């Protein structure tokens, strides 16, 4: 029995796709006799024709992964996408490093741990990119005996 016309009309009335139209298998002949929009509306009201529920996409896996990430999992080398400079731009890394170095230098100068002359010398070295970290700079200062007693 061809119910394509009825399905098309029902889909239009229910504002769903043709594949989401459900016809009661027990009332197929009744539906087949319905050829007007009014008769289809009547059958929808009676429950012989219904719209199937939309199929959703389960968020179970997404939630599970989110929970693992919250715990600190899934952060290994294999999860890293993009170059080192893409995850932390070189410029931002430089800014944070140079600010830390200059802050440390100012503290040392203000506490009179280093002379103004030494401060200027090391300041220029830091600007030139000599030190990779605060620890490296402090090690250099100690190594070269630039700290005052």
Q: For residue 47, what pLDDT is reported?
A: 96
- Does an H or E element contain 105, and which? helix 90-110
Q: Is the pLDDT of residue 1 over 90?
A: no
Rounded to whole angstroms, the Cα distance separating 38 from 146 reads: 96
What are the structural domains, with CATH classification, of the chain?
A: 1-75 (1.10.1650.10), 88-143 (1.10.1200.60)
Rounded to whole angstroms, the Cα distance separating 44 from 128 reads: 79
Q: For residue 10, what pLDDT is reported?
A: 97
Provide the token pair at 72.
């600190």
The pLDDT tens digits of the residues spanning 10-23 come to 999 999 999 999 99
The pLDDT tens digits of the residues spanning 120-142 come to 999 999 999 999 999 999 999 99
Question: Is the pTM above the cut of 0.85?
Answer: no
């Amino acid at each position: 029995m061809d119910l394509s016309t009825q399905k098309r009309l029902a889909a239009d009335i229910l504002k769903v796709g043709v594949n989401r139209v459900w016809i009661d298998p027990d009332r197929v002949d009744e539906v087949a006799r319905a050829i007007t929009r009014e008769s289809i509306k009547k059958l929808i009201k009676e429950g012989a024709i219904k719209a199937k529920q939309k199929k959703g996409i389960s968020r179970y896996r997404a939630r599970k992964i989110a929970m693992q990430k919250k715990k600190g999992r899934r952060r290994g080398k294999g999860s890293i996408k993009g170059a080192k400079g893409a995850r932390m731009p070189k410029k931002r890394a430089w800014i944070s490093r140079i600010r830390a170095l200059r802050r440390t230098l100012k503290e040392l100068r203000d506490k009179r741990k280093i002379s103004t002359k030494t401060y200027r010398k090391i300041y220029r070295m830091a600007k030139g990119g000599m030190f990779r970290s605060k620890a490296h700079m402090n090690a250099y200062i100690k190594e070269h005996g630039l700290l005052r007693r």
